[in-house]
Structure 1
């Protein structure tokens, strides 16, 4: 038979355990967010591709909008024209998959893509994040599509 003292002590121990578990979860979440500053929604500002000696710069602030959403395990990107499909610039593209991040090497494994030849490929990039700017640079190689180019993309973090 439990005494009043034993019941009180069990209740206090239970409360203390619960509070410690909550605090540990908060600390774990804070460490996780600090460890992965890439997590967030990013607006693509410019893209530079260099292929066979030719350099092409695309500004994603005029006729096209492109965002990349990154959580702790997966990424997705969405691109569409800003004319709502009503002229010759009409376009839509999307894709996503899982990624790995080790130091400054960010590797996307593209599982889904509106351009199906790109699916199933890995794309390693070197990334830098400074303030609200993410730059990713790496070689995109898609043998089935004849793609082998250096791609440099500059993103800005979107705020809520």
Structure 2
């Protein structure tokens, strides 16, 4: 009788066990899942050409960059009126801190299809992008530093 009672208590105990599933461990994130994906607003832009440095005036326009898993787009929107609006976009690759844009959609023919290699760093909600833009066909050879804050 005692063994029957023990078996009954054991069965009851096992049947009351919490049956909720334990979640599987998260898979490691791929580069495409990194925090680069989102909408970014330019807060600082610096262009070095030869012996001059130019700081982008952001008081008159907003410069936004949107990055998804494999494409990027950017636009410069004047705060008043439409003169000075421009944009572009294309694909990108990300390998560690090496970020390369291929500008597929842009109004300047000499730049279309060109690869732009950059180094990126993400600190909290800030993306820092720097590198040399070198397009001989367009007469472009400059070092840029851009700092963005994430707005989405």
- In structure 1, runs of 5+ residues without a counterpart are 1-18
Partner of residue 100 from structure 1, selected from 93, 97, 107? 93
In structure 2, the gaps of 5 or more residues are 1-20
- Give yes or no for the alignment of 1:149 onto 2:147: no
The structure that is helix-richer by fraction is: 1
Q: Is the 8 A contact 1:135 1:152 kept in 2?
A: yes
**Deviation of residue 69 (structure 1)?**
0.4
Measured on the aligned residues, the alpha-carbon RMSD in Å equals: 2.3
Aligned length: 132
TM-score normalised according to structure 2 size: 0.78
Indicate the structure (1 or 2) with the bigger Cα radius of gyration: 2
Distance across 1 between alignment mates of 2:111 and 2:78: 21
8 Å CA contact 1:33–1:39 kept in 2: the answer is no
Greater than 2 Å deviation, 4+ residue runs: 30-35, 114-117
- TM score, norm. by length of structure 1: 0.75
- Is this contact kept in 2: 1:45–1:59, CA < 8 A? no
SS in 2 for 1:144: helix
Residues of 2 paired with 1:31 and 1:128: CA distance? 17
Q: What do the CA deviations read for 1:95-152 (whole angstroms, capped 9, x no partner)? A: 1111000110100011011333211110011000000000000000111110000010
| Partner SS for 2:110 | helix
For residues 67-146 of structure 1, the aligned pairs below 5 Å read 67-85=64-82, 90-146=83-139
